[in-house]
A and B are shown apart, each in its own frame.
Chain A
């Protein structure tokens, strides 16, 4: 018998073991929900599966009685738009500033302390400032995402740019490259896959800031909806929304990971 540390599950075993906790959690939920509903059929805390089905049907597949819109889709589109805009702008700023400060010592000396300082400001603390400056419209919500994740992306990109071996920077110069060409042909292509991983890492925070901003001031959006129906203890709506948000986050992360592997095989091959 081998030691436990040297034993590995097979393919089927891996899947089974991976699924097991999900199945156990679902069973626990069903048992607990049944027990509560038996004691009080109007219990709202742990709704039965049928309530979820009703709620999903109502939110996703029936037009709302008040507005005539399919709410889940309206909320999803609104949230994803804000998220995409925020992340895209942050990634672009992060790329430009990160490469600039990571490559040019003079720019690093000038900007690094500022960026470090800004990254220490808790974004949620300046949310009121954002609402005051940018009003309660779309801009403030997107700005919160940008302010929340840009400093991290800049600092990560700066670090990645600095990590490029000095040998390669020297090499470029011996091949006749000027500073701009070194940025364009060496640094930029090499930090692109790293930008994708930085974006993947910051997506969690981006969702956090998005939902927080929507909870406070919005008229549609996934975060807005959750916090709206909280008033009626509508767990049958909140939980499917949470699952849906998790699923969206997973899909985005998965897509970025796959894209990176396909687009930058040299990066993943060398690791």
Chain B
């Protein structure tokens, strides 16, 4: 059975259709990259996966059950910004998940439990290359380091699904490449199922196992919200040729212009 099943999923706000007739199956361990023009419902889809938005019609199943309608620990997320807590040091940010499960009321751990959490967090931070920054606050870290910290914080909880909402959108190209390596590395090690939104088509082609393009098949220029976006391309990554990239790029660009 597929880990995630999307059955005839629709999302509408009033008479504005954002997504229509979405159907897909995603197996455990797949790495799905989602690209598409702004306004094509990529983030809406991610929010439905996360549980902060509900589908208007259709079903979103995790292991055959409807996915929880609020965020919980089955799904981890890294946003473009604000993913880490500014009032905690790097180490405390990574220890947080363990502390929360250690004590329902205080959300803190003590004694041996605390020491174990600290060691675990230290190891995790080392694996994302932040062993020099354990006691620094997020504002003292660069953008790339903050995103590494966010990954460490999320992955120490071992979520079934990792959602990435343009996590590298604000980073320099060089740092971005490092982050790609890191994400691929962590994905393989933890056997995660990943959904990653990106603006960068090339990033989508290079990363992961599967590429989804969200685009509007039917587009009414007078009323862009009349029809919703669908998954217009669902490609395995690695064996698509240059022509495909170009034709996707072309159709995404023309949708973007129509929506702007």
Please state if B101 and A269 are interface contacts (CB–CB under 8 Å).
no
> Which residues of chain B come closer than 8 Å to A175, judged between CB atoms?
73, 96-97, 100, 153-154, 157
Q: With A171-B85, A175-B97, A176-B100 as given contacts, are A266 and B73 in contact (CB-CB < 8 Å)?
A: no
CB-defined contacts of B81 to chain A, threshold 8 Å: 165, 167
Chain A to chain B: the 8 pairs with minimum beta-carbon distance, closest first: A173-B71, A270-B139, A167-B82, A165-B82, A181-B107, A175-B97, A266-B137, A176-B73
A215-271 residues at the B interface, CB under 8 angstroms = 264-267, 269-270
Nearest chain A residue, comparing its CB with the CB of B162: A174
- Check B154 against A174 for contact (C-beta < 8 Å): yes
Residues of B within 8 A of A174 (CB): 50, 71-73, 75-77, 154, 157, 159
- A177: nearest residue on chain B (CB-CB)? B100
CB neighbours of B1 from chain A (8 A): none
11 A-B pairs besides A168-B85, A176-B97 with CB distance below 8 A are A167-B83, A171-B85, A173-B70, A174-B72, A174-B157, A180-B104, A181-B100, A190-B85, A264-B87, A267-B87, A270-B138
A139 within 8 A of B: no
A60 to B176, CA, bound (A): 68
Q: Given the known A-B contacts A265-B137, A266-B137, are A190 and B71 also in contact in the complex, defined by CB atoms under 8 Å?
A: no
Give A46-104 interface residues, CB cut-off 8 Å to B.
none
A residues in contact with B154, CB < 8 Å: 174-175
Complex CA–CA separation, A173 to B85 (angstroms): 13
* Cα distance, A175 to B137, chains bound together (Å): 19
Provide the bound-state CA to CA distance between A175 and B154, in Å: 7
Give Cα distance in the complex from A178 to B96, angstroms. Answer: 13
In the complex, how many angstroms separate the beta carbon of A72 from the nearest chain B beta carbon? Answer: 42
Given contacts A170-B77, A174-B71, A176-B157, whether A184 and B107 have CB atoms under 8 Å apart is yes
In the assembled complex, A185 has its CB within 8 A of some CB on chain B? yes
Bound state CA distance, A180 and B100, in angstroms? 11
Q: B64-75 toward A: CB 8 Å interface, digit per residue (1/0)? A: 000000111101
Give me 19 A-to-B residue pairs in the complex whose CB atoms sit less than 8 angstroms apart, sorted by A's number: A165-B81, A167-B83, A170-B77, A171-B79, A171-B85, A173-B70, A174-B77, A175-B100, A175-B154, A176-B101, A177-B107, A178-B104, A184-B107, A190-B87, A265-B137, A266-B87, A266-B138, A267-B87, A270-B139
Residue of B79, B83, B84, B107 near A185 (CB, 8 A) is B107
Residue numbers of B with Cβ under 8 A of A are 50, 52, 70-73, 75-77, 79, 81-87, 96-97, 99-101, 104-107, 137-140, 153-154, 157, 159
Distance between B60 CB and nearest chain A CB, rounded to angstroms: 17
Q: Residue on B with the closest CB to A190?
A: B87
- Kindly list chain B residues whose C-beta atoms are within 8 Å of the C-beta of A135: none
Q: Is the CB of A170 within 8 A of B72?
A: no
Give, as a whole number of angstroms, the nearest-CB distance from B3 to chain A.
17
> What are the residues of chain B within 8 A of A173 when measuring CB–CB?
70-72
Contact B86 A190 (CB under 8 A): yes
A118 interface hit (Cβ, 8 Å): no
Shortest beta-carbon distance from A191 to chain B in Å: 10
How near does chain A come to B46, taking the closest CB pair, in angstroms? 11
**Closest approach, in angstroms, between the C-beta of B163 and any C-beta of chain A?**
9
| Separation of A176 and B87 alpha carbons in the complex (Å) | 19
A174 to B71, CA, bound (A): 6
Contacts of B87 in A (CB 8 A): 189-190, 264, 266-267
B157: nearest chain-A partner, CB-CB: A175
Task: Judge whether A186 is part of the interface by a CB distance below 8 angstroms.
Answer: yes
Instruction: Determine if B140 and A186 form an interchain contact, defined as CB atoms under 8 angstroms apart.
Output: no
Residues of A within 8 A of B83 (CB): 167-168, 171
Closest residue to A271 on the B side, CB-wise?
B139
What 0/1 pattern do residues 146 to 176 of A give for CB contact below 8 A with B?
Answer: 0000000000000000000101101111111
Provide the residues of chain B in CB contact with A176, threshold 8 Å.
Answer: 72-73, 97, 100-101, 157
CB distance from A169 to the nearest CB of B (A): 9
Which residues of chain B are within 8 angstroms of A180 by Cβ–Cβ distance?
A: 104-105
Q: How far is the CB of A189 from chain B (nearest CB, A)?
A: 5
Q: How far is the CA of A247 from the CA of B85 in the complex (A)?
A: 38
Distance (whole angstroms) from the CB of A118 to the closest CB of chain B = 31
